[in-house]
Structure 1
Amino acid sequence: MSNIKTAFDHGKALIAFLTCGDPDLETTAAAVRAAAANGANLIELGIPFSDPTAEGPVIQEANLRALKGGFTTDKIFHLVEELRKDVTIPLVFMTYANVVFSYGIDRFLERAAQVGVDGLILPDVPYEEKEEFAAPCRTHGLDFISLIAPTSQQRTAAIAREAEGFLCLAAQMDAAQPQADLISGLRAMVQGVRENTQVPCVADCEFTTPEQAGQMAGIADGVTVGSALVKLLEQYGAQAPEHIGAYVKSMKEALSGSGSSVALGNGEW
């Protein structure tokens, strides 16, 4: 059992995503500490990959910037080892199957557990093939975290019933899409999850404002903010951690006022 559940012990969870090595690992470490100090409940650490197909353009560009910096997976493990000297909130790796394959699945997960990683997200691994990674994750004490995109009720139910750690709900957020449609779609996804598991579900949307985060957290158990933080890193470089801390603080304050969590499984909103 990982430490991930503690991220949801005190109300709505704010999850921050950062791409390791963008612009360098020293700045990544400072950004992680700034996010944790200002209210982030869990941090997703993206291990760069050359073809991050599940990401939007902002995070794709961050991957490319990081790859040019000469990082290695071992350097990222060392980064986490150093962070664990003072960062106590759950940490999760987000990357792609080929990164784990090339390192060796068991070797990767054993090292991840040793340095204090709590879970793994692989967005390119479909539900039907997840056991190749989920089973060894369980062996090493990590949660294999699943994603749910808008899909059929049957598929949502199947993914939810086997969920570990938390569920990422990849709700669509199009600038041209009415806000009411987004809220309705996320509400339907959460309802499908609630009917099948008590594992927390997190809205993973491309929102940027505290008001949007508060709306999403009024439906789900928490929200993930990623692109906005990556944009700050692109804009400010080594000076970004200060801005990231202020941004995370504003988001956490919005979540604190978003209302109490929905009782799991009772169908009330």
Structure 2
Amino acid sequence: MNKKMNKTSSGSRIENKLKDVPARGDKGLIAYITAGDPNLDATVELALAMGEAGADVLELGVPFSDPVADGPVIQAASQRALAGGVTVRGIIGAVEQIRQHSDVPLVLMTYYNPVYQYGLERFAADVAEAGGDGLILPDLPPEESGALLRATDKYPIDLIPLVTPNTPDRRLPLICERAGGFIYCVSVTGVTGERESIVTDFSAMTAGVRRHSPLPVAVGFGIARPEQAVAVARHCDAVVVGSALVNIIARHSGAPGMVDAVCRRVRDLKNALTGPEVSDVAAL
């Protein structure tokens, strides 16, 4: 497997994967875990197993001590990982191990400070060499992303933007102009975390994004259960599930059944997004 061949003239590995899934009448599942929780060996094992269980894209959180978008569950996971000594370099090494055994698209989600401290071009180069595909930085507005874009443009790394319920329509062209991989629509105003109900008008949000970008559209934050995933999926190409999986890891950390417990939820979510039921929803 050539680790560097993760982008082609017809699109990146992320974009192609998330376009291929809806073309079959299904919806994509993007699964998030915090890298290094409970340790990096477990992260590699979890990532490989989740890919086999049905995750179409894997999102690995790079822990940061001062997050702005992470809710309590992911903050706690980041603190556990940092206390265990996880580093950016170690996480990039985990990406390389995952890529040696899987073609699943890999996205790193973190904040600007760790990337800046590592060195923008060095970070892009090392992630690309390891086989990573994308990067999400919730605290980096498009107006300030020029330096990072210049670095990622030299390598096959998608810089994936976020759109929130409060994003005004006038900003969508700027956000979508240099986007790669997919557009991440945040389902709620606030931080990550499981929610009983989500009342955002996804139809208006995703329709606005689609007017400005041909990229796949994913919705995340607050989605935990299969029925929630199906309800959201009618408006997008993929759903993102994170805190629910991180919470399972926390409850089973150190236990032999941790990987199986996470993969059961991944399979349940993917099964809900596959087949006649979601095909009917996709046609609405």
Taking structure 1 as the reference length, the TM-score comes to: 0.91
Offset at 1:259?
A: 2.3
Unaligned runs of 5+ in 2: 1-6
Offset at 1:178?
A: 6.3
Q: Per the alignment, do residues 106 and 242 of structure 1 end up closer, same or farther by CA in structure 2, a change over 3 Å counting?
A: same
Amino acid at match of 1:6: N
What SS class does the counterpart of residue 10 from structure 1 fall into? helix
Contact 1:203 1:216 in 2 (8 A): yes
Q: Write the distance in 2 (CA, Å) between the matches of 1:131 and 1:64.
A: 30
Q: Per the alignment, do residues 14 and 178 of structure 1 end up closer, same or farther by CA in structure 2, a change over 3 Å counting?
A: closer
**Are 1:56 and 2:71 matched, yes or no?**
yes
Tell me which residue corresponds to 1:212: 228
Q: Write the distance in 2 (CA, Å) between the matches of 1:240 and 1:6.
A: 31
With 148-157 and 253-262 compared, the bigger mean Cα shift is at: 253-262
Query: Which of residues 41, 44, 59 is equivalent to 1:26?
Result: 41
With 40-49 and 132-141 compared, the bigger mean Cα shift is at: 132-141
Query: Which of residues 211, 220, 229 is equivalent to 1:195?
Result: 211
Give deviations 1:89-114, integer Å, cap 9, x for gaps.
10011111110111111111101000
Q: Write the distance in 2 (CA, Å) between the matches of 1:46 and 1:113.
A: 17
Q: Per the alignment, do residues 176 and 137 of structure 1 end up closer, same or farther by CA in structure 2, a change over 3 Å counting?
A: closer
**Are 1:117 and 2:127 matched, yes or no?**
no
What SS class does the counterpart of residue 259 from structure 1 fall into? helix
Q: Write the distance in 2 (CA, Å) between the matches of 1:177 and 1:225.
A: 14
Contact 1:157 1:192 in 2 (8 A): no
Matches within 5 A, 1:1-269: 1=7, 2-8=12-18, 9-11=20-22, 12-150=27-165, 151-172=167-188, 179=198, 181-182=199-200, 185-238=201-254, 239-256=257-274, 257-259=277-279, 269=284
Contact 2:164 2:189 in 1 (8 A): no
Contact 1:173 1:207 in 2 (8 A): no
Offset at 1:260?
A: 6.4
Contact 2:186 2:221 in 1 (8 A): yes
Which aligned segments of 4 or more residues in structure 1 are displaced greater than 6 angstroms? 173-178
Amino acid at match of 1:114: E
Contact 2:218 2:239 in 1 (8 A): yes
Offset at 1:163?
A: 2.1
Contact 2:195 2:224 in 1 (8 A): no
Q: Per the alignment, do residues 10 and 105 of structure 1 end up closer, same or farther by CA in structure 2, a change over 3 Å counting?
A: same
What SS class does the counterpart of residue 86 from structure 1 fall into? coil
What SS class does the counterpart of residue 160 from structure 1 fall into? helix
Offset at 1:161?
A: 3.4
With 151-160 and 105-114 compared, the bigger mean Cα shift is at: 151-160
Contact 2:195 2:223 in 1 (8 A): no
Q: Write the distance in 2 (CA, Å) between the matches of 1:194 and 1:122.
A: 21
Offset at 1:224?
A: 0.3
Q: Write the distance in 2 (CA, Å) between the matches of 1:169 and 1:119.
A: 16
Taking structure 2 as the reference length, the TM-score comes to: 0.87
> How many residues in Structure 1 have an aligned counterpart in Structure 2?
261
Offset at 1:195?
A: 1.0
Tell me which residue corresponds to 2:4: none
Unaligned runs of 5+ in 1: 263-267
Amino acid at match of 1:76: I
Q: Per the alignment, do residues 261 and 230 of structure 1 end up closer, same or farther by CA in structure 2, a change over 3 Å counting?
A: same
Q: Per the alignment, do residues 178 and 44 of structure 1 end up closer, same or farther by CA in structure 2, a change over 3 Å counting?
A: closer
Offset at 1:194?
A: 1.3
Amino acid at match of 2:56: N
Q: Write the distance in 2 (CA, Å) between the matches of 1:122 and 1:211.
A: 28
What SS class does the counterpart of residue 188 from structure 1 fall into? helix
What percentage of aligned pairs have identical amino acids?
38
Tell me which residue corresponds to 2:3: none
